[in-house]
A and B are shown apart, each in its own frame.
Chain A
Amino acid sequence: MASRRFRGWKRARRFVLPLAGLGVIAIFISPYIVMAFDALRPSGEVLATPPTFLPKVWTPQAFQQVLTDPSFQNWLKTSLIVATSSTLIVILVAIPAAYFTARFTFRGRIAFLGLVVITQMFAPTSLVVGLYREFYDFNLINTYTSLILTNAAFNIAFALWILQSFFAAIPKDIEESAAIDGCGRVGTMIRIMLPLTLPGIVTAVTFTFIAAWNEYVVALTLIQDDSRKPLTVGINSYVTAYQQNWSQMFAASLIAIVPAVILFALIEKYLVGGMTAGAIK
């Protein structure tokens, strides 16, 4: 009895699974499809009753308006500067730390790892009041620096976690032969380890960039000048009590999320690998 059920299932499987897959795809992207369609309607039509699913008149105007809006351009510039700088800092700081922690035992290694775990728990959101006071005291409110440093510091933990497991996975003999060939610790790291851990580095870079790109609370709190706001904070001003520019907000939102989605899709195959490596600590 059971075997008959199995055989039927195996044949139906080829159709049922992709169909279920289609359902899952629909659930996960349909809100964003609605957003895309709304970005392509004239602004009034977004709030029209009765509503239509597809835009009545395809109007890419919102994209044009947004891209030529100097406020938007400033927000885009800020997001790019902050995300890129934070990512650079994280990579420069986390790679040596991860390499050393993965390879060598030293006094305080456990303490260091513990500290890293704790920072993962202290999300900037909980500390935002403290962050505000600190930057206020050092006159760094409203600066790129405050955002860059904050994003870098809070993403180190994750980058370290990923990088460390990649470094640890490399067999020791490779390092030993490098030492025999006369490489110092730094030389070994740069010339041997880095190429081998490239997937891990790519994953860490992408994650950090996207995390900084999408960051909201700290930017909302620390930045007052509209020209220094990143995209995440800026786009909210399209729909307020005074104006309801939904199509522009959605056009801006699409522009804001497309890079992140593409980057994520590119590293998708490393995601599973990176998490497996991290889980088998």
Chain B
Amino acid sequence: MEALLWLGPALILIFVIVIYPAVTLVVTSFGKFSIIGLRQGSAGIQNYVNFLTSPDLGHVIWNTCVWVGAVVILTILISLGLAQFLSKEFFGRRFVRWAVIVPWAAALVVSSQLFRLLYDYYHGIINQLLLALGIINKPIDWLGNSSFIMPSMIAVGVFVSLPFTTYLFVAGLNAIPTDIYEAARIDGARPQQIYRRITLPLLKPAIFIGVVLNMIYVFNSFPIIWILNGSNPGFGNDTMITYMYKLAFKSAQHDVGMAAAAGIFNVLFILIAVGIYLRFVNWREGVQS
């Protein structure tokens, strides 16, 4: 078929780099491995059992839900406002758009290392600013104190997710024809009514894409947690992704089989989560119509 000629290279690449590792992951999850990674035979479902009965798992899953939920919700809300702002014409708008791009263009590692210093207990500018402004009396241990580490990471997660989502919503807003606004204004609608009854519903497709993509990106996000949580021992603040990574590659654990099981679990988890969201959205639309 001619299609194969045009699509062939793409298909090959996808199969070799995406499908094959996924299959390898499944196979590995049923294997037993030595410390240095040599396969020693089948482990049946032992890896899955070990993983699912691990005492840290519940905590890690909870962390992940908080992490993804908070970052996605905050990002969507703030981006809606920011997009609205950026779709108005004003002097200097171009500079604002460029500024918004920076956290998107900068590598996550770079931003994470930067915030690692900013959040530092003694030398971080955040503590220094808050102290100077009198908002706090003592410095806060943003990265070491278990009550503060999650919000600190969430803040960074939102910060780096805002640019993409904002641009998505700007595109969505641009797609709304201006006559609708004119007609509504002639009919005497107030701005809040226009926003709630016209803008938001028309933005639904963009919001939908924003939520799904952000869920996937944030769930899989690695550098922020890896670097900001790096000096904390144990698994207290890990998400499912960093937990899996530690299981696979950190010398104390180095349990390849269990890590593979964790990997499969992660993939299924995000697929199901997105599926639940899809169902939720459809259900609500069904009820409204």
Binding site for B on A (CB under 8 A): 2, 13-14, 17-18, 20-22, 24-25, 28-29, 31-32, 34-35, 38, 46-51, 89, 92-94, 96-97, 99-101, 104, 106-109, 112, 115-116, 119-123, 125-134, 136-137, 149-150, 152-154, 156, 160, 210, 213-214, 216-217, 221, 231-233, 235-236, 239, 246, 249-250, 253, 256-257, 260-261, 263-265, 268, 271-273, 275-276, 279-280
Contacts and interface: CB of A to CB of B under 8 A. Distances in A.
A160 B105 CA distance: 21
Contacts of A253: 110, 113-114
Given A14-B91, A107-B1, A133-B21, A93 B13 contact: yes
B259 interface: yes
Given A14-B91, A127-B18, A216 B108 contact: yes
Contact of B107 (A13, A104, A160, A216): A216
B186 interface: no
Given A25-B95, A133-B256, 10 more contacts: A17-B88, A21-B96, A31-B111, A121-B270, A123-B217, A129-B260, A130-B23, A130-B24, A235-B110, A279-B205
Contacts of A116: 14
Secondary structure of the A contact surface, majority rule: helix
18 contacts: A17-B85, A24-B99, A28-B162, A46-B123, A47-B122, A94-B10, A112-B11, A119-B14, A121-B274, A129-B259, A131-B21, A160-B10, A232-B107, A271-B171, A272-B171, A272-B174, A276-B172, A279-B175
B107 A260 contact: yes
A152 B106 contact: no
Contacts of B266: 126
B3 interface: yes
A256 B110 contact: yes
Given A31-B114, A121-B216, A253-B114, A128 B245 contact: yes
A15 B64 CA distance: 42
Contacts of A232: 107, 109-110
Contacts of A154: 17-18
B16 interface: yes
- Size category of the binding interface on chain B: 35 or more
Interface string B15-30: 0111011111100100
B222 A125 contact: yes
B263 A126 contact: yes
Contacts of A149: 13, 16-17
Contacts of A104: 3
Contacts of A28: 99-100, 102-103, 162-163
Nearest to A50: B128
Contacts of B118: 31, 34
A129 B92 contact: no
Interface of B: 1-3, 6-7, 9-11, 13-14, 16-18, 20-25, 28, 37, 82, 85, 88, 90-93, 95-111, 113-115, 117-118, 122-123, 125, 128, 159, 162-163, 167-168, 170-172, 174-175, 190, 205-206, 209, 216-217, 220-223, 227, 241, 244-245, 248-249, 256, 259-260, 263, 266-267, 270-271, 274
Contacts of A92: 9
A153 B82 contact: no
A279 B171 contact: yes
A93 B9 CA distance: 6
Contact of A130 (B3, B22, B171): B22
Contacts of A123: 216-217, 220
A32 B114 contact: yes
Contacts of B168: 275, 279
Residue among A21, A46, A134 with most chain B CB within 10 A = A21
Contacts of A246: 117
